[in-house]
Amino acid sequence: MSEATIAVVNVKNQVTTEEWQVRQDLAAAYRLVAHYGWDDMVFTHLSARVPGPQEHFLLNPYGFQFSEVTASNLVKVDLEGNIVLNNGYEVNAAGFTIHSAVHMAREDAHAVMHLHTDHGVAVATMQEGLLPITQHALFVYHDLAYHDWEGVALDLDERERVVADLGNKNVMLLRNHGTLAAGGSVASCFMRLYYLERACKIQVNAMQGTLNMPNQGAIDMMEGTFNNPNSWEGLSKVAWPSMLRLADRLDPSYAE
- The CATH number given to whatever domain includes residue 88 is 3.40.225.10
Query: What's the pLDDT band for 155 if we cut at 50, 70, 90?
Result: low
- Provide the β-strand partners of residue 180: 114, 172
Q: Confirm whether 156 is domain-assigned.
A: yes
Q: Confirm whether 1 is domain-assigned.
A: no
Question: 154 CB contacts (<8 Å, ≥6 apart)?
Answer: 94, 97
The string of pLDDT tens digits covering residues 162-216 is 999 999 999 999 999 999 999 999 999 999 999 999 999 999 999 988 888 888 8
Q: Which of 57-71, 87-101, 120-134, 166-180 has the lowest mean pLDDT?
A: 87-101
Query: CA 143 to CA 226: how far, in whole Å?
Result: 9
- Given this model, what pLDDT does residue 217 score? 84
pTM over 0.75: yes
Q: Name the more confident of 168 and 94.
A: 168
Query: What's the pLDDT band for 154 if we cut at 50, 70, 90?
Result: low
Describe the crossing of helices 229-250 and 186-206 by its angle, rounded to 10 degrees. Answer: 90
Counted domains in the chain: 1
Q: Confirm whether 7 is domain-assigned.
A: no
Q: What one-character DSSP code corresponds to residue 51?
A: S
Q: Confirm whether 48 is domain-assigned.
A: yes
Mean pLDDT of the chain: 91
- Given this model, what pLDDT does residue 2 score? 36
Give residue 15's region: left, alpha or beta (phi > 0; psi -120 to 50): beta
Q: Name the more confident of 97 and 76.
A: 76
Q: Confirm whether 36 is domain-assigned.
A: yes
- Given this model, what pLDDT does residue 223 score? 75
